[in-house]
Amino acid sequence: MSKIAVLTTGGTIASIKNENSGLYMSGAMSGEQLVNRDRVRSTMEIEVESVFQVPSNAMDFDKLLRLRDRILHHINDPDVDGVVVTHGTDTLEESSYFMDLILETKKTVVFTGAQRTPCGEGTDAYANIRDAIAVAASPECKGIGVLVAFNEGVYSARHVHKMHANNVQAFTSPGFGQLGYVDNGECFMTQNPLQHVCYELKEPLGRVDIIKVYLGCDGKIIDTCADFGVSGIVLEGLGRGHVPPGCMNAVQRAVDKGVHVVITTNCGQGRVYPVYDFAGGVRDLQSRGVILGHDYMSLKARIKLMVLLASGHESSMALQKAFLA
């Protein structure tokens, strides 16, 4: 019989209703309360650990590094076949991708959560936990990176994105699709990622901010971030990765100060690419030392840039090469 470790961190999936306010207290349930074996209906041997009890908007990198240590503790147990992490959905795509970049293991690590509280009508909490356990135990899921199991779909942490604020079909992978699905507690994989890279953190994680550009914006926010001393800035650009001309002087000032600037696109699909010869275009950004964020969404580009810098990738050439991987 497979043994799966379930680590809980809070979120909607672990919420309890506050009868005084009528609102929900996110993360109030402990792991032992949440992983009710009668409700989950799993045939696996399950070991539960309550790591945090927080809403996902309170997750941070200090907590994630502590979570990584607990995941490694269970992964290193020869009796454990895989690990499930329950997590709030608001930051699940960021946390799961961070783990994907820093966890090198053949055992499967799966994140899941819920859009409806365990006591809510039509809750998806227990079905998602049951399905995540099935994914963690599946031999087909080993060695392909951190996965997300949600509403019967299986997704790569690299490409998963929360696309709906409240619907139970909350996650998708724009342009890439799901890797497989779970049906009646059985996991079926239909495709595997060709690439998966991990990095060793050698330095503390630096600060990287995201700046969304928009029609007519100038460079004031870019200047503010650069003056604050950030390690990097991810620009969420327009279309193929363009920014208004009024931003370009600020971009140059940031690069000259040693800030690593990455350009991404605000479109749900596609990659940044030099097509046009105008001020604020991708070619102009490249000429000023900006790194092309390939097909990364800004949230994932930020996580990747933080990890790359902490793992010793300092030159623009090394960073650019890594973003193409």
Strand residue runs (E) in the chain: 3-10, 16-17, 24-25, 45-54, 82-86, 108-112, 147-150, 153-156, 161-162, 171-172, 180-183, 186-189, 208-212, 232-237, 260-265, 291-292
Of 162, 177, 62, give the one whose Cα is nearest residue 112: 162
CA distance 176 to 171: 12
Task: Return the amino acid letter for 9.
Answer: T
Positions marked active-site: 12
Which region holds residue 152: left if phi is over 0, alpha if psi is between -120 and 50, else beta?
left
Please tell me the distance from the alpha carbon of residue 197 to that of residue 210, in angstroms, as a whole number: 23
